[in-house]
Amino acid sequence: MASPTITIPPYTQRQEFPSIMTEITAPETAAAQPSLPPLHVLLAAPRGFCAGVDRAIQIVEVALQKFGAPVYVRHEIVHNRFVVESLEAKGAVFVKELDEVPDDRPVVFSAHGVPKAVPAEAQRRNMIYVDATCPLVSKVHREAERHHESGRAIVLIGHAGHPEVVGTIGQLPDGAVHLVETVADVASLTVADPENLAFATQTTLSVDDTGAIVDALRDRFPSIAGPKREDICYATTNRQAAVKAIAPKADALLVLGAPNSSNSVRLVEVARGHGCTRAMLVQRAAQIDWPRLEKIRTLGITAGASAPEVLVDEVLTALRERFTVTVEEVVTATENVIFKLPRVLAAE
């Protein structure tokens, strides 16, 4: 089959989510609004959408083009209300479980991945389904399967109940995966054969915390197999590194993201752990706790991997109503990762 044709450019290139790069290179001068206090904004880069989120959103949009509305989506396609509501306005219907989807309508599975039982049930019902699981999450699924086939039990480092963790555990039979969340969990872990283990990790964890858990696993089970370091994805790693660069210089730091977005919550923790105790998670500008920003001179801003750039723009606009703002983008890495769409969405 021919390679899928992507008809919609990545969100970062679309008019509805405009770039603010022009404004960054031409900051406002204090003379423009002399009565407002000065505020220097350190804008982390990379921030916001990753390739897996961009692909998942495109999948829903192309599915709407190809099949017409409604297209059903099992779970939030990515953890961001703004994105979900934008897609709802275009004809997507978000549901919790597959049994809420009629047999004759297409369904998309979210970027976080799903247990194997979910596509199996869709197949049994002869449904059209499109799997928007991020390829980097699918890679972890395949690694876990490979270790299981070679007779190893899997220790998964992740957060209980997170959809990605539910999806990864659901790749293997019941009891094949042991979940650990902390170093203390490693100490109390009971396994049938300590010589026959492998580990895998959720992709959106704290790089530092996960390193400590991996070290504890390797100390206790020296023959444990696994990735060289962990399975944390490039986007999570890069966004945390960018926050580490700006947090020590910032009086306060805003992370644009949802409370159920693992990578966004981790960014707040990373900022607090690297010198910025006043780090706050906000979904929209309307949620900013303005009294906490009084008298600050330097504000860090970043966005989780599921938060569109338009929300950063919105925050900058709100800041400019209260401060004379200068913006400095602090770039710690550049990203050019793009994932292809699934073949089922290829142009005919």
The residues annotated with a catalytic role in the active site are 164
Residue 279 C-beta: closest distance to ligand SF4, Å = 19
Total site size for ligand SF4, rule CB under 6 A: 15
H or E, element range at 267:
helix 262-273
| C-alpha to C-alpha distance for 311 and 302, rounded to whole angstroms | 10
Residue number, 53 or 101, with CB nearest to ligand SF4: 53
Q: Binding to ligand SF4 by residue 270, rule CB under 6 A?
A: no
Kindly tell me the sign of the dihedral angle through the C-alpha atoms of 237, 160, 75, 255. negative
Query: Considering only 50-58, 97-105, 180-188, 221-229, which stretch makes contact with ligand SF4 by CB under 6 A?
Result: 50-58
Q: Binding to ligand SF4 by residue 140, rule CB under 6 A?
A: no
| C-alpha to C-alpha distance for 267 and 269, rounded to whole angstroms | 5
Tell me which residues in 292-321 interact with ligand SF4 (CB under 6 A): 305
* Rg of the chain, C-alpha, whole Å: 22
| C-alpha to C-alpha distance for 144 and 146, rounded to whole angstroms | 5
Residue of the chain from 46, 48, 52, 163 that contacts ligand SF4 (CB under 6 A): 52
Residue number, 50 or 186, with CB nearest to ligand SF4: 50
Nearest to 307 by CA among 44, 47, 41: 47
Query: Considering only 35-43, 134-142, 193-201, 308-316, which stretch makes contact with ligand SF4 by CB under 6 A?
Result: 134-142
Residue number, 137 or 301, with CB nearest to ligand SF4: 137
| C-alpha to C-alpha distance for 11 and 18, rounded to whole angstroms | 9
Residue 149 C-beta: closest distance to ligand SF4, Å = 23
Query: Considering only 133-141, 144-152, 189-197, 241-249, which stretch makes contact with ligand SF4 by CB under 6 A?
Result: 133-141
Q: Binding to ligand SF4 by residue 132, rule CB under 6 A?
A: no
The token duo for 272 is 């607090």
Residue of the chain from 42, 45, 51, 130 that contacts ligand SF4 (CB under 6 A): 51
Q: In this structure, what DSSP letter does residue 333 have?
A: -
Residue number, 136 or 307, with CB nearest to ligand SF4: 136
Nearest to 243 by CA among 212, 208, 274, 285: 274
Q: Binding to ligand SF4 by residue 53, rule CB under 6 A?
A: yes
Tell me which residues in 59-98 interact with ligand SF4 (CB under 6 A): none
**All residues at 6 or more sequence positions from 155 whose CB lies less than 8 Å from its CB, including other chains:** 177, 178, 179, 180, 189, 191, 197, 198, 199, 200, 217, 224
Tell me which residues in 168-227 interact with ligand SF4 (CB under 6 A): 203-204
Q: Binding to ligand SF4 by residue 240, rule CB under 6 A?
A: no
Cα 297 from chain centroid (whole Å)? 30
Residue 112 C-beta: closest distance to ligand SF4, Å = 7
Q: Binding to ligand SF4 by residue 136, rule CB under 6 A?
A: yes
Q: Where are the beta strands (DSSP E) in the chain?
A: 38-45, 71-74, 92-95, 107-109, 129-131, 153-157, 177-180, 197-201, 252-256, 279-282, 298-303, 324-331
Query: Considering only 8-16, 23-31, 153-161, 231-239, which stretch makes contact with ligand SF4 by CB under 6 A?
Result: 231-239
Q: Binding to ligand SF4 by residue 144, rule CB under 6 A?
A: no
Residue number, 201 or 298, with CB nearest to ligand SF4: 201
Please count the residues of the chain: 348
For binding to ligand SF4 (CB under 6 A), which residues are involved? 50-53, 111, 134, 136-137, 203-204, 233, 235-236, 263, 305
